[in-house]
Amino acid sequence: MPELPEVETIKRQLNRKIKGKKIKNVKVNLPKLVKYPLEKFKKIIKGARINSISRRAKLLIVELSNDYYLIIHLKLSGQIIFNGEINKHTHLIYYFTDGGILLHNDVRQFGFVKVVFKDELPDFLVNQKLGPEPLSSKFNLELFKELLLKRKNSKIKLLLMDQKFISGIGNIYSDEILFFAKVSPLRIVKTLKDKEIKKIFQGIKEILKLAVKKKGTSNRDYFDAYGKKGNYLPFIKVYQRKGKPCFLCKSTIIRVKMGSRSVHFCPHCQK
């Protein structure tokens, strides 16, 4: 968290709010957040203009006018907020020449900012070994089936969260996608029927699109670039609903551990 819908929301909002702005200065309150020599980082940032903001998987990619890119990963609790209020969790502050500010907050401090030169960006992204973008037109059912064939002994829940398999899906939306498809997260890929694969693919597309439209899910630390909560939480069917009745069959939603992750599902509806 944040996952694809949340990062996509922030990307779109930042393009509306800070694209074209010139950075007057940057203040670093937590040096470990910056994965680059600090003085060089400040020198690159100061005076640069924001050309655009893009996204790859869960990464925000900020293109600067001086041929450098900022790669921002929010990890579990990161926030990027335009003209927000500075607090004890504000670790980076970008000051714009027009008086605006951009805050990088992070309660748990797992996120980071990296600096990559233009010529190094393609190799940097290749080295991340990221899977296809699920909302891209290139990600179709045929490709999804091909990818599944290569990982047929994997558990479907873990596979959906594997960024090398598909980009941007995490714990929230993998739970919701599998409930949509009525498939147990414990299932092994090779046991999936063709109609189940089609339903999972449909769920990936529909749920992520709706979550982007609703500006993401705010269940803990996530706020959009305006400091507002996302609106997808009322649409959640199983994630973090342990002990509550299933909306379809009234059975009790259960939670199990899968590796280090908590998995939520309906044992009656999802087989």
pLDDT in tens, 17-50: 999 999 999 999 999 999 999 999 999 999 999 9
The catalytically annotated residue of 3, 6, 8, 133 is 3
Q: Which residues of 27-48 are buried (b: 16+ CB within 10 A; e: fewer)?
A: ebeeeebbebeeeebeebbeeb
Q: Kindly report the average pLDDT of the chain as a whole number.
A: 97
The catalytically annotated residue of 2, 5, 134, 185 is 2
Provide the residue ranges of all domains of the chain, joining segments of one domain with +.
4-127, 141-265
* Residue 1 pLDDT class (50, 70, 90 cuts): confident
Cα-Cα end-to-end distance for the chain? 26
Contact 18, 50 (CB under 8 A): yes
CA atoms within 13 A of residue 165's CA, in its CB half-sphere: 22
The catalytically annotated residue of 42, 145, 242, 261 is 261
The answer to whether domain 141-265 has CATH 1.10.8.50 is yes
> 267 catalytic, yes or no?
no
pLDDT at 118: 97
Residues in the chain: 271
Question: Averaged over 93-113, what is the pLDDT?
Answer: 97
Q: Work out the percent of the chain whose per-residue pLDDT is above 90.
A: 97
* Residue 195 pLDDT class (50, 70, 90 cuts): very high
* Residue 220 pLDDT class (50, 70, 90 cuts): confident
pTM here? Answer: 0.96
> 58 catalytic, yes or no?
yes
Contact 135, 129 (CB under 8 A): no
> 3 catalytic, yes or no?
yes
- What distances in angstroms separate CA 2 from CA 63, 75, 106, 180, 230, one per listed residue? 21, 7, 12, 21, 11
CATH number among 2.102.10.10, 3.20.20.140, 3.20.190.10, 3.40.630.30, domain 4-127: 3.20.190.10
The catalytically annotated residue of 11, 55, 58, 157 is 58
Q: Say how far apart CA 141 and CA 75 lie, in whole Å.
A: 29
Kindly give the pairing relationship between strand 59-64 and strand 50-56.
antiparallel
